[in-house]
Chain A
Amino acid sequence: MNVPYIVSLAYQYADNLAFLLLAALGLMIILGVIDVINLAHGELIMLGAYTTTLAYHRAHLPLPACVLLSFIGVGAFGMFLERTVIRRFYRDKLGALVATWGISLLLSQGMLLFLGPSLIAVPLPEWTLSYAGYSFGGYRLFSASILVVLLAWWIFYRTKFGVRTRATMQNPAMAQALGVDTRRIYLYTFAAGSALAGLTGGLYAPTTTIVPLMGTTFVDVAFITVVVGGGANPILGALTSSALLASISAPLSSVFGTFMGRIGLLLTALVIIRFLPRGLSGYFQDLQRRRMAGARS
Chain B
Amino acid sequence: MRGPLGIFSRVGGRQDLGRGAAFWVAFAIVALGLVAFPLFGSAFYLSNLANFFVYVPMGLGLCLLWGYGGILSFGQAAFFGISGYVYGIVAQNLSLTPGASLLGVAAAILATVIVAALFGYFVFYGQVSAWIIPLLTLVLSLILETFMAQTAGYQWRIGHVLLGGYNGMTGIPSIQVGPLEFGGASIALYLLTVIAMLLGYLGLRLLVNSHFGYVVVGVRDDVERTRMLGYNVARMQVTVFALAAGLAGLSGVLYVSWGNYINPSSMGLYAATLPVIWTAVGGRSSLIAVTLSTVALKWLADSLAVRGGEYAFLIMGALLLATMLFFPAGIVVSLNRLWRRARRHAP
Contacts and interface: CB of A to CB of B under 8 A. Distances in A.
B212 to A, nearest CB: 23
A112 B310 contact: yes
B314 A220 contact: no
Interface of B: 72, 119, 121-123, 125-132, 134-136, 138-140, 142-143, 146-147, 150, 269, 273, 276, 280, 310-311, 313-314, 316-322, 324-325, 328
Interface in A264-297: 266, 269-271, 273-278
A145 to B, nearest CB: 22
Given A105-B317, A270-B119, A259 B146 contact: yes
Nearest to A272: B126
A101 interface: yes
Contacts of A98: 72, 276, 280, 320, 324
A262 interface: yes
A1 to B, nearest CB: 31
Contacts of B138: 220, 223
A150 interface: no
Interface residues of A, number: 42
B255 to A, nearest CB: 22
Interface stretch (A48-56, A69-77, A85-93, A172-180): A85-93
A168 to B, nearest CB: 18
A101 B324 CA distance: 10
Given A103-B321, A274-B125, 16 more contacts: A37-B134, A94-B131, A97-B72, A97-B134, A98-B72, A98-B320, A101-B276, A101-B320, A109-B314, A216-B142, A259-B146, A259-B150, A270-B136, A273-B128, A273-B132, A277-B126
A94 B131 CA distance: 7
A270 B317 contact: no
Contacts of A37: 131, 134-135
A98 B74 CA distance: 10
Contacts of A23: none
A64 interface: no
18 contacts: A37-B134, A97-B131, A101-B320, A102-B318, A103-B321, A104-B317, A105-B316, A109-B310, A220-B142, A223-B138, A227-B135, A259-B150, A263-B143, A270-B136, A273-B123, A273-B132, A277-B132, A278-B129
A253 to B, nearest CB: 13
Contacts of B322: 102
B151 to A, nearest CB: 10
A33 interface: no
B131 A109 contact: no
Given A88-B325, A95-B328, A277-B129, A270 B123 contact: yes
Contact of A94 (B72, B122, B136, B313): B72
A123 interface: no
A88 B131 CA distance: 18
B128 to A, nearest CB: 5
A120 interface: no
Contacts of B324: 89, 95, 98-99, 102
A25 B313 CA distance: 28
Contact of B313 (A109, A224, A226, A274): A109
Nearest to A99: B324
A4 interface: no
Contact of A102 (B72, B122, B317): B317
Nearest to B272: A101
A93 B127 CA distance: 17
